[in-house]
Amino acid sequence: MAATETARPPVHFQTHPKRYKHWKLSTSKDIATLTMNVDPTAGERDGYELKLNSYDIGVDVELNDAIQRLRFEHPEVRCVIVTGALDRVFCAGANIVMLRTSSHAFKVNFCKYTNETRLGIEDASHNSGIKFIAALNGTASGGGYELALACDDIVLVDDRNSAVSFPEVPLLGVLPGTGGLTRIADKRKIRRDRCDVFSTVAEGIKGKRAVEWNLVDALLPLSRWQEGVNERARKLADTVKARGTQGVELDAVEPKETPVSNGRKLAYTYVEFTIDDQARTAELEIKAPEKCAETAEKAFSEGNQWWILRAMRELDDAICRLRMNHLDVGLVLVRAKGSVETLTKTDALLATSDHWFVRETQHLVRRVLKRVDLSAKSLYAIADGGTVWVGTFLELLLACDRSYVLNDENAKVTFGITASNKGLYPMSNGISRLQTRFLGTPEQTDVVLANKGTFDAATADELGLATFAPDDIDWEDELRLALEERAAFSPDALTGMEANLRFAGPETMETKIFGRLSAWQNWIFQRPNAVGERGALTCYGTPHKAEFRFERT
């Protein structure tokens, strides 16, 4: 923990527009507006003020919630205007004092969550037909401009003062942490030399040059600012079709917490996880119910209680809590249980229905599985007696770093293939988890997919779905040794190793963003030039000037 970090309360990931402190969400027919108006005094912890619409994790939790609600509660919305409420300022980016006084692990997890939220905007545009326009009513710096880059259209007010900027290199000795360098080069395809200049000019670039360099799409004068923004929003909205007319309200998914030996258990409806503080491990279990909706209409009528929607929202909340609130937990043991029939029928519905609500749920499942992929925790699937690894639950096993399968005919372990395993939920690399697993033997993917119905542990081992498949005699000892060994390794080395190994295959903008995040933040954020006694991040906002060590690595 950083020496100056104040006591950090646990981060909660459930909120509601009525409780927002930093955003206002409003809708008018098929146009929504998200207005950023950060409360300077409402940071997630004491010790900093969120000045100039700067943000911390709490601001992003609300933004993520708003995007989810737009997708599920407002299927009529076709375009979202993202703007600011302050005069001459859109957003100053991540709060510097918050970063300076946070532990390294928290900084990295904060930036990862922020990245996932920005990618959620792009996902909504690509998969849900909700277009986003960044209406920059003032200067957008650092993470503020990175938020704009996630949108489909960027409009900057032409007031001779407002600019877009990445001041991290010249002022803080770090880099834009939310995919900004990747997006200006790969998404907006700005020339390398211009990217170089832009990323080293602290005051940023404004006016006609910002348009010429493709940093923004248009300038609008103050005299017709709102009119011009509305016109562009209307034009964007008309490029897509509304998904529906009646939405589904999302309720909170809060777990019940109870103390257990050496830790605590958090139980939701379909998910529970148990923390062992002494062993620095967690056990996470997800369960499918005995009965389920078999048609889109029935699923829609169940709304936020539809089991797969609720289970995945619970899993998402659990993963976020494990990341942010349980930093010492290094290894998560994953189990899946429940009805094979429910999993099979639900997966068939998710794969075939064109109902907007079912499609949105399918997209949510994909995003949650990606969140699992991207978590800096070692993940072991434990396929012991009574576990069920069918379809979507098999995707969870494939997301794990290892799978331990109990090969004992008396211990029922069930595997099965559904449409979910045929590319319905691609990873960040753009291909399925099976394709990623068998990258060197692609024909094995087809062999696995050819299996009909369910199959047992021995068959799963033959198909390559088990890392190890001990019998009942060796099971307990082999598993115990594996857990003790993993817990003894350096968590820093494991994080780097896992991030290198999880995304074999094609490189995408998404894998670049997270790969570079893992590399630079776990290096630059630790370097004296950034966080040393006279580092730029340490000295920012103080009377002291940064002092750099000038040797290159």
535 within domain boundaries: no
Q: Is the pLDDT of residue 250 over 80?
A: yes
Q: Which domain holds residue 263?
A: 256-495
The answer on 261 and 223 residing in a single domain is no
Per-residue pLDDT of 444-479, as tens digits, reads: 999 999 999 999 999 999 999 999 999 999 999 999
The answer to which of 216-230, 295-309, 345-359, 528-542 has the lowest mean pLDDT is 528-542
Query: How much is the pLDDT for 7?
Result: 63
Which CATH number covers residue 104? 3.90.226.10
Average pLDDT over residues 66-87: 98
Least confident of 24-28, 126-130, 260-264: 260-264
Q: Is the model's pLDDT at 3 over the cut of 70?
A: no
For position 2, what pLDDT does the model report? 42
pLDDT in tens, 313-326: 999 999 999 999 99
Residue 289 domain-assigned (yes or no): yes
User: Both 136 and 264 in a single domain?
Assistant: no
Please check whether residue 544 lies inside any domain of the structure: no
Q: How many CB atoms lie within 10 A of CB 493?
A: 9
303 and 162 within one domain: no
H-helix or E-strand containing 144? helix 143-149
SS3 263: strand
d(CA 156, CA 147): 13
Q: Is the pLDDT of residue 4 over 50?
A: no
Q: Examine the domain organization and report whether 267 and 233 are in the same domain.
A: no
- Do 66 and 27 have their domain in common? yes
Q: Are residues 37 and 108 in the same domain?
A: yes
Whether 362 and 285 map to the same domain: the answer is yes
- What is the DSSP code (8-state) at residue 328? T
Question: Do 296 and 395 share a structural domain?
Answer: yes
Point out the domain boundary residue: 460, 495, 530: 495
Residue 192 lies inside a defined structural domain of this protein: yes
Q: Of the ranges 1-15, 115-129, 166-180, which one carries the lowest mean pLDDT score? A: 1-15
In 252-338, the DSSP E strands lie at 256-260, 263-267, 271-276, 281-288, 331-338
Nearest to 263 by CA among 322, 324, 323, 335: 322
pLDDT averaged over every residue in the chain: 95
Q: What are phi and psi of 454, to 5 degrees?
A: -100, 160
Sign of the four-CA dihedral 179, 400, 370, 20? negative
Structural domain count, the chain:
2
Same-domain status, 183 and 39:
yes
- Based on the domain organization, do 170 and 276 belong to the same domain? no
DSSP state of 251: -
Query: How much is the CA Rg of the chain, to the nearest whole Å?
Result: 24
38 beta partners = none
Residue finishing a domain among 175, 206, 237: 237
Is position 551 within any domain?
no
Give the integer Cα–Cα distance in Å for 100 and 410.
55
38: phi > 0 → left, psi -120 to 50 → alpha, else beta; which?
beta
Helix (H) or strand (E) holding 134: strand 131-136
Question: Do residues 185 and 271 share a domain?
Answer: no
The answer to whether residue 503 sits within a structural domain is no
541 or 386, higher pLDDT: 386
Q: Residue 406's closest CA among 462, 339, 476?
A: 476
How much is the pLDDT for 496? 86
Is the confidence at residue 501, as pLDDT, over 80? yes
pLDDT at position 1: 37
Pair 159, 268 in one domain: no
- Integer CA distances (angstroms), 430 to 288, 305, 357, 359, 366, in order: 27, 30, 23, 18, 11
pLDDT at 37 over 90: yes
The answer to the question of residue 12 being in a domain is no
DSSP string, 354-406: --HHHHHHHHHHHHHHHHHHT-SSEEEEEE-TT-EEETHHHHHHHHSSEEEE-
